Amino acid sequence: AMMSRSHDEL
Amino acid sequence: MNVFRLLGDVSHLVAIIILFLKIFRSKSCAGISGKSQVLFALVFTTRYLDLFTSFISIYNTVMKVVFLVLSYATVYLIYLRFRSSYDSESDTFRVEFLLVPVAGLSFLENYDFTPIEILWTFSIYLESVAILPQLFMITKTGEAESITTHYLFFLGLYRALYLANWVWRYHTEGFFDQIAVVSGVVQTIFYCDFFYLYVTKVLKGNSKLTLP
């Protein structure tokens, strides 16, 4: 699975 | 955006508004941990640094501004406007025991060793433990007004809904944010015993939550 963060979540 | 995340953001907003209105209208912050509210203001400050540098959507910007304004306004009400009602003798959790490990871990375990990313990681780890002073204060005083329990319910529900959002995103887009998911699980677990008390006591119509 990708290890990244979403920049659109609060 | 999916329904779980939208409901989660709404639940988060409801929680923050419940708390602000409770203090503002009752002109008292009795039973409220100022330390937790300071930690939440710090969470939003370190997480929303991109507020002015990257525009994602109107919704995203509006919610970030609302969360920041309401959290700082709540801290203002507790420590300045209604400070005579602030119960500092009961709000004794040693927040340095939270800040130091969280800061250390955000330097060790992050997605990118840059200031923005480390501060974002710090805000994620800090949010998972920010409610502890408030939960500790309730165990210390042995009670909580029902409005405070409603605040905690929606606050705990918000991250539980975000967990559902991450399950949904994993299955629909293969998206997986390990730092946020692990922290979100820890954060939600801290609310479990409160959720049990909330359902068994407060929803039965008790005027306030009194711990056994």
**Chain A residue with Cα closest to B61:** A10
pLDDT of residue B206: 81
Nearest CA-CA distance, residue B44 and chain A, Å: 9
Question: Residue A3 pLDDT more than 90?
Answer: no
Return the number of CB contacts < 8 Å for A and B: 41
Which residue intervals of B27-131 are DSSP H helices? 34-47, 58-76, 96-108, 115-129
Chain A interface disruption, residue of B53, B56, B57, most A CBs within 10 A:
B56
pLDDT of residue B185: 98
Q: What tens-digit pLDDT sequence spans chain B (212 residues)? A: 999 999 999 999 999 999 999 999 999 999 999 999 999 999 999 999 999 999 999 999 999 999 999 999 999 999 999 999 999 999 999 999 999 999 999 999 999 999 999 999 999 999 999 999 999 999 999 999 999 999 999 999 999 999 999 999 999 999 999 999 999 999 999 999 999 999 998 888 887 889 88
Under 8 Å between Cβ of B28 and B84: no
Structural element, H or E, at residue B168:
helix B146-173
Q: Do B175 and A10 touch (CB under 8 A)?
A: no
Contacts of B110 (CB under 8 A, 6+ apart): B117, B118, B121, B179
- Collect all residues of chain A within an 8 Å Cβ-Cβ radius of residue B57: 8
In this structure, the dihedral spanned by the alpha carbons of residues B86, B38, B160 and B207, taken in order and rounded to 10 degrees, is: 10
